[in-house]
Amino acid sequence: MRRSAASALAVLLLAAACSGGEEEDGEAPAEVEGAPILVGTVGTEDSPDAFEITLVDEDGKPVTELPAGEYNVEVTDWSAVHNFHLDGGDGAVQEKTGVTEKGETTWVVTFEPGEYRFMCDPHPSMNGHFTVS
């Protein structure tokens, strides 16, 4: 009986470790075909450490309101001193890039109705917000 409980616990721990939003090969989930794209940036290509953070839609317009649903969020983090942190929906969404890491990433995010924000963790004055209905 002890062996069964230990085996069950090991399976549960393994399942929990593998369910962190990444596929088995360690890659982030692929973009969802047909889902709208949002584009987030922190810093700029010409000035990576600029105090700029943006989130725009496919037409390049700042995101202020969105309908609920699934989105591909493509983030370019130009800076080694800032990050792009997206959260909201009463904790349902929690995605961020590393502060010292530069690069591009895509998150598949399901937005439920509520308030959301994006910000730089080390520099909270760099922020924006939007509403999902």
Close Cβ partners of 119 (under 8 Å, ≥ 6 residues apart): 53, 85, 126, 127, 128
Residue 78: domain span: 34-132
Average pLDDT on 56-84 reads 97
The 10s digit of each residue's pLDDT in 4-13 is 444 443 433 3
Close Cβ partners of 3 (under 8 Å, ≥ 6 residues apart): none
The structural domain count of the chain equals 1
List the single range of 15-24, 54-63, 79-88 with lowest mean pLDDT: 15-24
In a domain, 128, yes or no: yes
Percent of the chain with pLDDT over 70: 78
The 10s digit of each residue's pLDDT in 33-69 is 999 999 999 999 999 999 999 999 999 999 999 999 9
Mean pLDDT rounded to a whole number for the chain: 84
In a domain, 27, yes or no: no
CATH at 127: 2.60.40.420
pTM of the model: 0.77
In a domain, 1, yes or no: no
Do the strands 65-66 and 127-132 form a parallel or antiparallel pair, or are they unpaired?
Answer: parallel
In a domain, 7, yes or no: no
Measured between alpha carbons, how far is 106 from 101 in angstroms, rounded to an integer?
Answer: 15
**pLDDT at residue 17 in the model:** 35
